[in-house]
């Protein structure tokens, strides 16, 4: 029996002549999921490049400003004679307050500061010559020197957009306590303005050797005042996604799905004013939305007996498995299936804002930029036509993706005062690229509308 078995096996081992192997491959390839396009990678690198360029731009602009800090402080002083006078007065008070230091501090060129601002250079140089003697004399003593506040300090601060800093002097050092609300920012952006110097002190809560400080009385003025702003906003989102079938299983059902999403989002955007009407910004957004997906799918599979007991019907179940069963036939019913996904996503927007108009307290900005949606995770559930949950399909979708979107929007602002504003942002965020969701075998393009309300704070 083995001999005939070998002969018969040999009969079927010859391959058929296949002249159109390429044609068959093309048919197969057409049904395969689309290959991930390198364009996605290009977008990633492009986004990183834009972010780097913007960062460099901000760095360049801010450092250019940093070089003019002294000038800025001078301007503050010259524009606000009160600053000069009060600072001088405060300086005197400080000296009076610490009587132990009176003799030493007499050497500080207060008198010079009582002159005009134009004599500042001379003042500074005098200051520099005198600081050594101050440092030497303070070595031997352990005085406590605290800036004495002026009576109308809050009004003064508000009117002149400055903040006092507290200075505490120990034997060798002066501790500077910055009370400005933006003290967390690098103090390169801030300038010490005092009666005795117009010099920058790059510290916050740090301990400085006394020789580096030429005054015991000071307040700070952010150089970049009104250039930096922070916007915090939150609101509702309306989104739609176009999903194209990327898999043969879905293609046989329906080639495209429209989805609806409603949700909410919150954002924090930091903006920098490059030109009088132009701002650049970047930030972070969190979005949570519920996606509703309606599509045609298998609602039920009914089996019923078809033949007598003398025969067996077998049912193909999966790729390589036949399930035992009775003599039955199957009837598949297709119907509308509703699928809900809860989507949590984090966006990194990078944008440019242009002030279109400003009338009174109102202003309207036009914004455009890109969104990098770093993660997008969802857990889903299927609802059958009777709104019952299809437990076999629920909670089994977990997807993560990165997409790129272009944002275009209008921001209307009502300015409560020079610092605070109420915002209303309307944005349309459109997909720049299509990404493939392997778990649901879909290519998706994500477009959405966003309406946000929030507050803005100029720093």
Partner 1 sequence: MNLNKTIKACQKNDRKAQFALYEAYAAIVIRTCERYTEDLPTAKDLSQLTFLKIFKNLNQFNAQKGNFESWIRRIAINECLQFLRKKRHLLFVEHFNENEMESVEELNTTDIDNERLKQFIEALPKGYRTIFLLFQVEEYSHKEIGSFLNISESTSRSQYFKARKMLKQKIEDFLSKKTNLAK
Backbone torsions φ then ψ of 17, nearest 5 degrees: -70, 120
Provide, rounded to whole angstroms, the least separation between the CB of residue 429 and partner 1: 28
Transcribe 153-220 into DSSP letters.
HHHHHHHHT-EEEEEEE-SSEEEEEE--TTTTS-GGGEEEE-SS-------SS-EEEGGG---S--EE
150: tokens are 């002026």
Task: Pick between residue 27 and residue 288 the one whose CB is nearest to partner 1.
Answer: 27
Taking the alpha carbons at both ends of the chain, their separation in whole angstroms is 94
Given a contact cutoff of 8 angstroms between Cβ atoms, the answer to whether 385 and 305 are in contact is no
Provide, rounded to whole angstroms, the least separation between the CB of residue 29 and partner 1: 7
Provide, rounded to whole angstroms, the least separation between the CB of residue 224 and partner 1: 48
Task: Pick between residue 6 and residue 300 the one whose CB is nearest to partner 1.
Answer: 6
Interacting positions 245-264 with partner 1 (CB under 8 A): 248
Task: Pick between residue 3 and residue 64 the one whose CB is nearest to partner 1.
Answer: 3
Instruction: Give the integer Cα–Cα distance in Å for 189 and 69.
Output: 8
Given a contact cutoff of 8 angstroms between Cβ atoms, the answer to whether 131 and 211 are in contact is yes
Q: Which residues make Cβ contacts (< 8 Å) with residue 51, sequence separation at least 6?
A: 282, 348, 350
Task: Pick between residue 28 and residue 151 the one whose CB is nearest to partner 1.
Answer: 28
Instruction: Give the integer Cα–Cα distance in Å for 179 and 163.
Output: 7
Provide, rounded to whole angstroms, the least separation between the CB of residue 6 and partner 1: 9
Q: What CA dihedral angle connects 344, 290, 295 and 297, to 10 degrees?
A: 70
Provide, rounded to whole angstroms, the least separation between the CB of residue 255 and partner 1: 17
Question: Applying CB under 8 A, does 386 fall inside the site for partner 1?
Answer: no
Task: Pick between residue 99 and residue 324 the one whose CB is nearest to partner 1.
Answer: 324
Q: Site for partner 1 (CB under 8 A): which residue of 3, 140, 359, 417?
A: 3
Task: Pick between residue 13 and residue 99 the one whose CB is nearest to partner 1.
Answer: 13
Instruction: Give the integer Cα–Cα distance in Å for 211 and 79.
Output: 29
Task: Pick between residue 318 and residue 392 the one whose CB is nearest to partner 1.
Answer: 318
Q: Which residue carries 């070595």 as its tokens?
A: 139
Please give the size of the binding site for partner 1, defined by CB under 8 A. 42
Provide, rounded to whole angstroms, the least separation between the CB of residue 392 and partner 1: 20
State the binding string over 294-333 for partner 1 (x if CB under 8 A, else -): -------------x--xxxxxxx--xxxxxxx--------
Task: Pick between residue 11 and residue 151 the one whose CB is nearest to partner 1.
Answer: 11
Provide, rounded to whole angstroms, the least separation between the CB of residue 176 and partner 1: 57
Provide, rounded to whole angstroms, the least separation between the CB of residue 438 and partner 1: 8
DSSP conformational letter for 389: B
- Judged by DSSP in three states, 361 sits in coil
> How many residues appear in the chain?
459
State the binding string over 6-35 for partner 1 (x if CB under 8 A, else -): -xxxxxxxxxx-x--x--xx-xxx-xxx-x
Instruction: Give the integer Cα–Cα distance in Å for 66 and 12.
Output: 84
Provide, rounded to whole angstroms, the least separation between the CB of residue 319 and partner 1: 5
Tell me the torsion sign for CA atoms 49, 50, 52, 56: positive
In order of 2, 3, 13, 15, the CA distances from 7 in angstroms are 9, 6, 10, 16
Region from 3-11, 58-66, 101-109, 394-402 binding partner 1, contact rule CB under 8 A: 3-11
Provide, rounded to whole angstroms, the least separation between the CB of residue 42 and partner 1: 18
Query: Within 10 Å of residue 101's Cβ, how many Cβ atoms?
Result: 21
Task: Pick between residue 55 and residue 255 the one whose CB is nearest to partner 1.
Answer: 255
Task: Pick between residue 371 and residue 399 the one whose CB is nearest to partner 1.
Answer: 399
Instruction: Give the integer Cα–Cα distance in Å for 134 and 95.
Output: 13
Can you give the binding site for partner 1, defined by CB under 8 A?
1, 3-5, 7-16, 18, 21, 24-25, 27-29, 31-33, 35-36, 248, 307, 310-316, 319-325
């Amino acid at each position: 029996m083995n001999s005939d078995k070998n002969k018969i096996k040999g009969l079927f081992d010859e391959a058929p002549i296949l002249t159109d192997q390429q044609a068959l491959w093309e048919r197969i390839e057409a049904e395969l999921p689309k290959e991930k396009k390198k364009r996605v990678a290009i977008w990633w690198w492009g986004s990183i490049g834009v972010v780097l360029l913007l960062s460099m731009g901000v760095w360049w602009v801010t450092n250019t400003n940093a070089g003019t800090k002294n000038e800025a402080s001078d301007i503050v002083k010259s524009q606000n004679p009160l600053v000069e006078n009060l600072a001088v007065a405060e300086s005197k008070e400080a000296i009076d307050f610490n009587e132990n230091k009176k003799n030493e501090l007499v050497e500080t060129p207060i008198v010079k500061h009582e002159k005009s601002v134009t004599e500042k250079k001379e003042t500074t140089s005098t200051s520099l010559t005198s600081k050594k003697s101050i440092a030497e004399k303070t070595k031997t003593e352990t005085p406590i020197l605290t800036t004495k506040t002026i009576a109308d300090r809050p009004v003064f601060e508000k009117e002149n957009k400055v903040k006092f800093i507290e200075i505490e002097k120990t034997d060798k050092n002066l501790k500077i306590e910055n009370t400005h609300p933006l003290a967390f920012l690098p103090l390169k952006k801030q300038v010490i303005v005092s009666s005795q110097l117009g010099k920058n002190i790059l510290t916050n809560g740090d301990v400085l050797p006394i020789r580096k400080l030429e005054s015991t009385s000071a307040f700070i003025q952010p150089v970049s005042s009104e250039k930096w702003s922070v916007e915090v906003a939150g609101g509702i989102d309306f989104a739609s996604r176009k999903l194209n079938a990327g898999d043969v299983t879905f293609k046989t059902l329906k080639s495209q799905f429209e989805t609806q999403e409603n949700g909410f989002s919150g954002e924090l955007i930091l903006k920098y004013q490059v030109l009088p009407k132009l701002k650049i910004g970047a930030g972070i957004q969190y979005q949570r939305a519920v996606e509703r997906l309606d599509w045609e799918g298998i609602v039920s599979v009914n089996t019923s007996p078809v033949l007598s007991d003398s025969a067996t019907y077998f049912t193909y179940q999966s790729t390589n498995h036949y399930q035992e069963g009775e003599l039955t036939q199957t009837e598949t019913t297709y119907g509308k299936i509703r699928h809900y996904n809860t989507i949590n996503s984090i966006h990194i927007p990078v944008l440019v804002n242009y002030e279109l108009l400003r009338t009174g307290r109102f202003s309207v900005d036009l914004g455009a930029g890109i969104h990098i949606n770093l993660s997008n995770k969802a857990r889903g559930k299927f609802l059958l036509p009777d709104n019952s949950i299809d437990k076999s399909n629920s909670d089994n979708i977990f997807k993560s993706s990165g997409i790129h979107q272009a944002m275009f929007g209008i921001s209307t602002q009502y300015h409560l005062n020079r610092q605070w504003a109420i915002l209303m942002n309307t944005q349309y965020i459109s997909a720049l690229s299509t990404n493939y969701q392997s778990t649901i075998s879909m290519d998706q393009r994500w477009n959405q509308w966003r309406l946000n309300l929030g507050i803005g704070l100029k720093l």
